[in-house]
Copies of this chain bind each other. A is one copy, B any other.
Amino acid sequence: MKKQVFKTVSLMTILLIVILQTNAQFRRGPRLISPQINEDNSVTFRLNAPDADNVAINGSWMPGYYGKQVDVAKGDSGIWSITVEGLAPNLYTYVFLVNGMRVLDPQNPQVMREGAGSDNYVIVPGKESEVYTVQDVPHGTLSSVWYPSPTLDKNRRMSVYTPPGYEEGDKEYPVFYLLHGAGGNEDSWPSLGRANCILDNLIADGIAKPMIVVITNGNSWSAAAPGEAPAGENAERLKGPGSGDRNGFENSLVNDVIPFIEKNYRVIADKDHRAIAGLSMGGMHTQTITNSNPGIFSYIGVMSAGLRNNPRFGGNNYDQEAHIKQLKALQESGVKLYWIGCGEEDTAKEINIALRKLYDDLGFKYVYRESPGGHTWANWRLYLSELAPLLFK
């Protein structure tokens, strides 16, 4: 009898869903499949836009990506579609442009957001994209954690990844501090960078050591990602990045974040079990932090960033002599890996060349990885998947 009621109530639930979903269906329009990954790994994108004059698509597979677009063809019943051939296995972001306006694919719940811009994404399956794909492997825990920052005089939010088994065991782990770029926040590496997914997969395959990953918010004027910070921060936000305390973030990472992590998590608290890496602005933060604090990190990664000796930046009071002195102290402190990654068409390419020239001149050892493409999350995901296996070994 009990079982029958149980079944009945479940049927009720299903029927209720049908009724209540009417609203949701209304919002989404007719049911289309988009994106559709075809057997040959081409991908078909479809959009229902009967009143549009023109529809295009902007996708991260396009060389240059930002601002690039390809026309989408109008078919029957106002359904526009395009099939993109020859996509290598990877994670691609895209958005429709309807009469020039950015429109998300209403059929695709997979969305990544950077700053105020959202894009859909699709993963073309294959060996190269496996590491970006959630697999049926043990998953770590991803937490939004608030911590006090006396340096910045506020409580701030970060993302912390603890590897599978952390909660159940009593083992101590190394810690990897992972920094985002301008326009990003503590959500960027987990969402756009798929950091927890990549770490889960690398750890499951035995390619990377189990580690804690600490993803900070590098905007010193900000407590947290948009919508997660206390009200009133908006006024500060409008001043723009870097408007806060000079070196506030860099100082707070050393003075606030590391002590908080080492007090509240089971970590191995020494140089050989600390790594730091960052992309773009985060690559500059990484340099500032490690140059000014030799002996804290044995593993250092700089992605799509470089040295400021580029004439585009105009006059400055850069002190090369002092910089060199810092680098020598850093080298003497015993860096096990200094990893530099940059895209072939990266907007940071030129200043990256200048950085490497200085290091070469000094005999400052580093590993260099250049990859096709530009200043993109496609490259930073790739770099994370290649750098994480080199840490703590």
A102 at the interface (CB under 8 A from B): yes
A5 neighbours in B (Cβ, 8 Å): 291-292, 319, 322-323, 326
Residues in chain B near residue A326, CB distance under 8 A: 2, 5
Partner of A281, one of B13, B116, B125, B281: B13
Given A100-B51, A135-B230, decide whether A67 and B26 contact each other with a Cβ distance below 8 A. Answer: yes
- Report whether B2 and A322 are in contact in the complex, using a CB–CB cutoff of 8 Å: yes
Whether A125 lies near B231 (C-beta < 8 A) is yes
Q: Which residues of B contact A114 (CB under 8 A)?
A: 24
Q: How long is the Cα–Cα vector from A116 to B11 in the complex, in angstroms?
A: 25
* Smallest CB separation, A28 vs chain B (Å): 6
Q: Is the CB of A227 within 8 A of B121?
A: yes
Q: Is the CB of A27 within 8 A of B66?
A: yes
What CA separation (Å) do A9 and B302 show in the bound complex?
14
* Segment of A241-249, A269-277, A363-371, A380-388 in the binding face: A241-249
Q: Given contacts A113-B111, A375-B20, is CB(A49)–CB(B281) below 8 Å?
A: no
Decide yes or no whether A202 CB sits under 8 A from chain B: no
Q: Contact mask A229-253 → B, CB, 8 Å, 1/0?
A: 1110000000001100011001000
Contact-residue bracket for chain A: 35 or more
A228 within 8 A of B: yes
Residues from 1 to 16 in A contacting B, C-beta threshold 8 Å = 1-2, 4-16
| Residues B115 and A24 in contact, CB atoms below 8 Å apart | yes
CA distance A57 to B125 in the complex (A): 38
The answer, among B16, B28, B155, B250, for a CB contact under 8 Å with A348, is B16
A183 interface hit (Cβ, 8 Å):
yes
Which among A15, A16, A105, A375 has the greatest number of chain B C-beta atoms within 10 A? A16
Contact B51 A99 (CB under 8 A): yes
Expressed in whole angstroms, the minimum distance between the Cβ of A295 and any Cβ of chain B is 14
- How many monomers of this protein are in the complex? 2
B-side contacts of A118, CB under 8 Å: 104, 111, 118
- For the complex, give the distance between the alpha carbons of A281 and B323 in Å: 61
A288, B9: Cβ atoms under 8 Å? yes
> A146 contacts which chain B residues (CB < 8 A)?
138-139, 141, 164
- Which chain B residues border A52 with CB–CB below 8 Å? 99, 101
Contact (Cβ within 8 A) B281 A117? no
The verdict on A284 contacting chain B, using a C-beta distance below 8 Å, is yes
Q: Enumerate chain B residues within 8 angstroms of A66, measured Cβ to Cβ.
A: 23, 26-27
Known contacts A24-B183, A67-B26; A155/B141 CB under 8 A: no
Whole-angstrom CA separation of A23 from B280 in the bound complex: 13
**Distance A11 CA – B100 CA, assembled complex (angstroms):** 36
A362 located at the interface, meaning its Cβ lies under 8 Å from any Cβ of chain B in the complex: no
Q: Does A42 contact B (CB under 8 A)?
A: no
Q: Is the CB of A13 within 8 A of B288?
A: yes
Q: Does A331 sit within 8 A of B, measured CB to CB?
A: no
Stretch at the interface among A205-213, A310-318, A336-344: A310-318
Give the distance to chain B from A284, nearest Cβ to Cβ, in Å: 4
User: Is residue A77 within 8 Å, beta carbon to beta carbon, of the partner chain?
Assistant: no
Return 19 A-B CB contacts under 8 Å, by A number: A1-B319, A2-B322, A4-B322, A8-B316, A8-B318, A10-B288, A12-B284, A13-B288, A16-B280, A16-B308, A20-B181, A104-B118, A110-B226, A118-B118, A133-B230, A138-B146, A138-B155, A141-B146, A142-B143
**Contacts A8-B323, A20-B375, A28-B115 supplied; 8 other A-B pairs, CB < 8 Å:** A1-B319, A5-B326, A16-B308, A17-B182, A19-B312, A109-B116, A133-B231, A138-B146
- 4 nearest A-B pairs in the assembled complex, by CB-CB distance: A109-B226, A12-B308, A143-B143, A14-B242
